[in-house]
Amino acid sequence: MHAMSDHSEALRRFERAFDEHYDAVFTYACRRSDRETAADVAAETFTVAWRRLDNVRAGEERPWLFSIAWRVLQQQRRARDREPPAEVHDRADDRAEAGDRVVERDDARRALAQLNERDRELLMLVAWEGLDLAEAAAALGFSRATTRVRLHRARRRLAQLMAPTGSPPGDAPGSVRFVQSGEQS
């Protein structure tokens, strides 16, 4: 009877995590891929979560799920990069459709593209996904202190990339600040 109780508790915990975080994981994946791929990423993320949910402490599911989704996206990118060029199709239209909340300014997108992948991901987790510093650190596998420093440097680098030549960072008209409201850095 104890095994049945453990299984029931695991199922309830998984269902709770799914109900609370599926939309956030799907949106996260949509901002980085097309909707079809995002659905696959979300499904794979929760498949992994079902198998490994006992490895994460209660209350820490959200950043853990984002870290799984990030790894699934990386695996899919590597697989796509191995595809012959004839089979790769342009996903720009799909990404534009999925990115309804993505910063629309071309200069911001270009500046983000110039950042290294980890810094870009950190900014996106904090600004777009609403993770706090501790959650972003957990999602990316960094310490909180390292994440704080990386976030500060990534913001500074982004501001430099977006500033018109000759103006100090942050003084550019239309500058975008990648900060979560109420965040303490």
| Tens digit of each residue's pLDDT (9 = 90 or more) over 78-108 | 887 777 655 444 555 555 544 544 444 566 7
Q: What is the mean pLDDT of residues 166-181?
A: 48
Has residue 173 got a pLDDT over 90?
A: no
Give 150's contacts (C-beta < 8 A, 6+ positions apart): 118, 119, 122, 142
Fold observed for domain 1-101:
Rna Polymerase Sigma Factor; Chain: A (1.10.1740)
CA dist 22 to 10, 27, 127, 137, 157, Å?
17, 9, 19, 20, 32
Among residues 54, 30, 50, 55, the alpha carbon closest in space to that of 40 is found at 30
d(CA 97, CA 31): 9
Q: Which of 35-44, 72-81, 116-125, 164-173 has the lowest mean pLDDT?
A: 164-173
Residue 162 in contact with residue 175, Cβ under 8 Å?
Answer: yes
Q: What is the mean pLDDT of residues 174-181?
A: 47
Give 49's contacts (C-beta < 8 A, 6+ positions apart): 14, 17, 18, 61, 64, 65, 68
List alpha helices for the chain, DSSP H: 2-30, 35-52, 61-82, 92-98, 106-114, 117-127, 133-140, 144-162
More confidently predicted of 77 and 22: 22
Where in the chain are all domains bearing CATH 1.10.1740? 1-101
The DSSP code sequence of 109-149 is HHHHHHS-HHHHHHHHHHHTS---HHHHHHHHT--HHHHHH
Where in the chain are all domains bearing CATH 1.10.10.10? 103-180
| pLDDT score of 102 | 46
- pLDDT single digits (tens) 45-71: 999 999 999 889 988 999 999 999 999
Has residue 37 got a pLDDT over 60?
A: yes
Question: CATH classification of 103-180 is 3.40.50.150, yes or no?
Answer: no
- pLDDT single digits (tens) 113-160: 888 888 888 988 888 888 898 999 988 889 999 999 999 999 898 888
Token digits of residue 130: 């609403």
